[in-house]
Structure 1
């Protein structure tokens, strides 16, 4: 048997084993996982979201019978799925790493490079990046909190931060390709276009729940925004932009995170140009032709001090906007505020 034929047989055998072990981890749990039922009306009823209420979450088993699960069971299933995904990744990476070592011994450094690339691609594919946005009143304070979350949860450095202030949620979209802050020329005013202030960021799919938890921490025990007594109106309404919106896979994780942080909010299905309702966050679909995308705000609104007088962030934080701009990031061509100063919205 030549080395080439032996290598092919070894590759086939190990990949077959990897596939079987991966499937074994995937099918080790129940035949279908329960999920929290999304309300079909415009609002998620608050008592439907309470962790103390048993939810009628149904899925069909192999025999066509209905399976009911309580909220405790759903949380257990959610944890089980995360464990299964983690185990599957471990199995795939472990077997592929073994394959890489054996292949190197048989066929040299070129094969080693190819297998290492395959291992890397396997890990990346299992945890893709997603774009999301969160709105909770004035976006200055919200951006700072999510910058801190990126550092804490993902270990990102300053040059890796993706949190940006912006606008979203308006039916009109953009005007002449622009969405701008209030300005003397009345150019593409975000408020008149129906948008709210938000912070957009790019995060791993597996970390959405953790960032949703950070979002709900922005609200006090009564569900009020930090600036509830000051900034009011549709421009400051609370909203969350996720792939698929209320019908997507992230909606349940959003609800779970809300319950875990005190179940302080109700949720509305975002239709665009929504009202500013206290203790309510609108869930928007930020994808697709009929979705509500994120529009980045002007440079002078990026990494700004907070709205309260005592929210003065370090100079190193404030300078990030200029740093990213010098690096080639495009913050649009909107006028610099109401008076053209580009300071504090003026």
Structure 2
């Protein structure tokens, strides 16, 4: 049987290689579709007007396995908990937890050129968001609900790139960290301070907690954003095409990594 991690990397590289010459609609196909061709709700909903007036937004990130599925779940959480519209969504696939970057501060997915490979730099796949501080604990509950008996839903993916991690300003010293820890303990998880370049958490029921000032979030390439994953049915084009809104208003930027833009 083919290792899903190898399939994911291979398909990602194929998608990247083709993206420079394909039409935009083609690049939006999921990696699952390419692979076939080539071989919940937490908290109460607030009004959109209130969401627009959000204050005290805090940069956080969460990671547990492949970021495709995690991004989708947090997009749904932004809608249900914060009442955000497509024009207000903030959840982006990215990388964090490594102590190094490549040239010009780049952190990139595996690529043929070997540029700033996130795995070699010690980073893991995460989803970064801008959240009201008062809602961090709600999103922590969503995060821990993503685990299945203390493990990620894609245990076939192995390596530090897929470790479980959380990023908060100040890490474990964040004022709301006790609430995050409480949500984890309720699910049988142990939270420890991340040191950077940490190993896989598979089989340990463990989550690393990072200080975002020391271990910031790095946005992943455009072709990784709003994709379907291997664990679920396709999310549909209405989800896949959210990337258009974020590109248009600058919430998604070019990374300097090999990409389709």
* Class of the TM-score when normalised by the shorter of the 2 chains: 0.7 to 0.9
Query: Could you tell me which residue of structure 2 aligns to residue 214 of structure 1?
Result: 142
Equivalent residues of 2:102, 2:115 under 8 A apart: no
Does 2:260 align with 1:332? no
Gaps of 5+ in 2: 1-49
Matches within 5 A, 1:1-346: 127-220=55-148, 222-228=149-155, 230-259=156-185, 262-278=186-202, 279-287=205-213, 291-308=214-231, 310-328=232-250, 329-336=252-259
Moved >4 Å (runs of 4+): none
By how many angstroms is 1:187 displaced?
0.5
- Local SS of the residue matching 1:160: coil
More helix by share: 1
Q: Distance in 2 between matches of 1:187 and 1:263?
A: 38
- Local SS of the residue matching 1:192: coil
Equivalent residues of 1:243, 1:250 under 8 A apart: no
Cα deviation, 1:10-31, whole Å, max 9, x if unaligned, reads xxxxxxxxxxxxxxxxxxxxxx
Query: What TM-score do you get using the length of structure 2 for normalisation?
Result: 0.75
Q: Distance in 2 between matches of 1:270 and 1:148?
A: 27
- Local SS of the residue matching 1:188: coil
Cα deviation, 1:319-340, whole Å, max 9, x if unaligned, reads 111332133341312113xxxx
Cα deviation, 1:218-252, whole Å, max 9, x if unaligned, reads 001x2010101x11100000000001111221321
Q: Distance in 2 between matches of 1:239 and 1:181?
A: 18
Query: What TM-score do you get using the length of structure 1 for normalisation?
Result: 0.57
Q: Distance in 1 between matches of 2:221 and 2:237?
A: 19
Q: Who wins on radius of gyration, i.e. which is larger?
A: 1
CA 1:175–1:280 in structure 2 vs 1: closer, same or farther (change >3 Å)?
farther
Gaps of 5+ in 1: 1-119, 337-341
Higher relative contact order (CA 8 A, sep 6+): 2
CA 1:302–1:210 in structure 2 vs 1: closer, same or farther (change >3 Å)?
same
Cα deviation, 1:46-94, whole Å, max 9, x if unaligned, reads xxxxxxxxxxxxxxxxxxxxxxxxxxxxxxxxxxxxxxxxxxxxxxxxx
Equivalent residues of 1:258, 1:265 under 8 A apart: yes
Aligned length: 206
Equivalent residues of 1:138, 1:197 under 8 A apart: yes
